[in-house]
Amino acid sequence: MKYAKTEFTRRLARHYDELKWLYLELYRDEGAFSYFTGMLERCWKDRKQALRNQDAKREADPDWYRRPDLLGMMLYVDAFAGNLRGVKEKLGYLQECGVNYLHLMPLLDTPRGRSDGGYAVSDFRAVRPDLGTMEDLEKLADACRRQGISLCLDFVMNHTSEDHEWAKKARSGEPGYRERYFFYDSWDIPREFEKSVPQVFPTTAPGSFTQLEDGQIVMTNFYPYQWDLNYANPAVFNDMTENLLFLANRGIDVIRLDAIPYIWKELGTDCRNLPQVHTLARLLRMVCEIVCPGVLLLGEVVMEPAKVAPYFGTPEKPECHMLYNVTTMATTWHTLATGDVSLLQRQMEAVCALPRDFLFLNYLRCHDDIGWGLDYPWLAQNSGAGEVAHKRYLNDWFTGKFPGSDARGELYNDDPRLGDARLCGTTASLCGLETAEYEGDPFKRERAAACDLTLHAWMLSQSGIPVIYSGDEVGRFNDYTYHDDPDKRDDSRYIHRGAFQWDLADGRKDPDTYQGRLFQGLRRLESIRGSEPCFDAQADVRVEDSGDSRVLALCRRMGDRELICLFNFSNQFVRAGADRPGRYTELMYGTRYDDIRRVELWPNGFAWLLRDTEHPEKEASQ
């Protein structure tokens, strides 16, 4: 026990001065800080030996999560396997998929019908009863750890449900709880806030405040049943940090900090990305390094790169371990609809210019909608596309309204006046596979499956951690049954949150089905990525000129190895490449090339071309 005590005090001592300085700068409360450090020690003492052993192992290998063989999958517990015990029973399937990073979508207790998909938490220490218990979650985490799978869970920081114990006590006037939220007796201050605070959901949940039945007014930036927490109150930060550590002590490896840019509010600002948010993020990073250094923080920052990058912090004072690459995701779908890679090339040049230590989580689809947060000033200057008109075009394309489009999606938060709707749908349906199957058209099926696979190859070609949305590995289609569910029909995001189609998974081993082609193709791509040094996070990555506006070219270099990745975003045969001498081998299909300046790419096709290093004398002569 003496050694263990020294372990905690050693970690605390390393961060103590900065921890105290930042905490007191924010709160100016010595008593609250004393409580805070005591709470950290209590949480550390509660951490079981298996987790401490993992902490020590990961401390000794700080780059463990940067390996190219890391592959993520996100899923809803009930949709995938009914409950937590069901997920535990399906770990064999996940391992067959190559998954070693599993993101479970929100599963903490929420009120039925007022949950916002699980993001209105009524108890941070209880699991939704229909999904199981906290003991079931811990047993699943234990099983994942034994099988080398890291478990990720959402931590909703910005707000609680109106049914949370704190909210109930605040509503009843119990001392100390009203101050945990933003309560007002009149609209004077709320109206001042709303002069500068943008609305999150102007169509479905307009405004940023809600008036309760008794006349009290409370801040609700997202939905009326989600009450914003007041992080200017040290009791909120202390108790929310303890809730985070409680989950870490159940065996959660990655904590997703939901909506972190919103957590600090200040009158006269837009209440987004304020400096105090970064102070809190830095404090949480130090908390993890002190109590549970094997745990990672994933920041959910759904903004452009310039606003995302600061959440990494600095090498000397890091904040989040990794962040979502949301802009690249949205730009990828824009590129598929337009067949022009110019904007995506510009986006990737910005990403490639960031420090290599910045680790992004890359994805094509997730539980949420696709918001068209593109670089519209650049689009207007270079293609003449106006923001409203271009958003309308993208939404028409992906809902199948535009002539020639086989995509099938639905709009979310549609505002015809502003043309600001977002898009929902699964990868397969947005690629046209649903339409091809409905029409029974084998030609369209082949093209759509190729498009789907190419988009996944593109995701896997980016530096960071690739994450597949559950069902995409077997081409899951949109689920329209949500229209008949009164708790879901007003939220079109449920179109891609439907039940896992296990009948599709049954065909994953048959290469003559599109399910088999997608599943086996993905496994082949993932296997190549996991073993090829050019996919290492420390590789040098840059965008190349492919010679064709329809084709994106990416060069990845690690030591003397060079990989050229080509992606045809058009539905036409294209000859394009990179101005490189030497011989190359295409890794997916084994084709050899003596010249890669004009490689023939199939419609919506791709190529991973590895330079042959066995004949350097020939390359040198050229």
Q: What secondary structure letter does DSSP report for 478?
A: P
Q: Specify the pairing of strand 296-299 against strand 254-258.
A: parallel
Look at residues 385, 399, 404 and name the one whose alpha carbon lies nearest to residue 429.
399
Percent helix, strand, coil in the chain, to 5, is 45, 20, 40
Inter-CA distances, 571 with 393, 598, 603, 606, Å: 18, 17, 4, 12
Yes or no: say if 119 and 156 are a contact pair by the CB < 8 Å rule. Answer: yes
Q: Specify the pairing of strand 322-324 against strand 359-363.
A: parallel
Inter-CA distances, 172 with 87, 175, 178, 239, Å: 39, 9, 9, 20
Between CA 207 and CA 220 the distance in angstroms is 8
Between CA 581 and CA 239 the distance in angstroms is 60
Which conformational region is residue 582 in: left (phi greater than 0), alpha (psi within -120 to 50 degrees), or beta? left
Yes or no: say if 59 and 296 are a contact pair by the CB < 8 Å rule. Answer: no
Active site residues: 258, 300
Between CA 478 and CA 424 the distance in angstroms is 9
Inter-CA distances, 79 with 316, 365, 378, 470, Å: 42, 16, 40, 9
Residues 6+ apart with CB under 8 A from 289: 11, 14, 15
Burial of 336 (0-12, 13-18, 19+ CB in 10 A): buried
Yes or no: say if 465 and 101 are a contact pair by the CB < 8 Å rule. Answer: yes
Between CA 380 and CA 384 the distance in angstroms is 4
Between CA 242 and CA 236 the distance in angstroms is 10
Yes or no: say if 555 and 562 are a contact pair by the CB < 8 Å rule. Answer: yes
Torsion of Cα atoms, 607 then 613 then 618 then 619, to 10°:
60
Between CA 61 and CA 217 the distance in angstroms is 49
Look at residues 4, 56, 9, 6 and name the one whose alpha carbon lies nearest to residue 37.
9
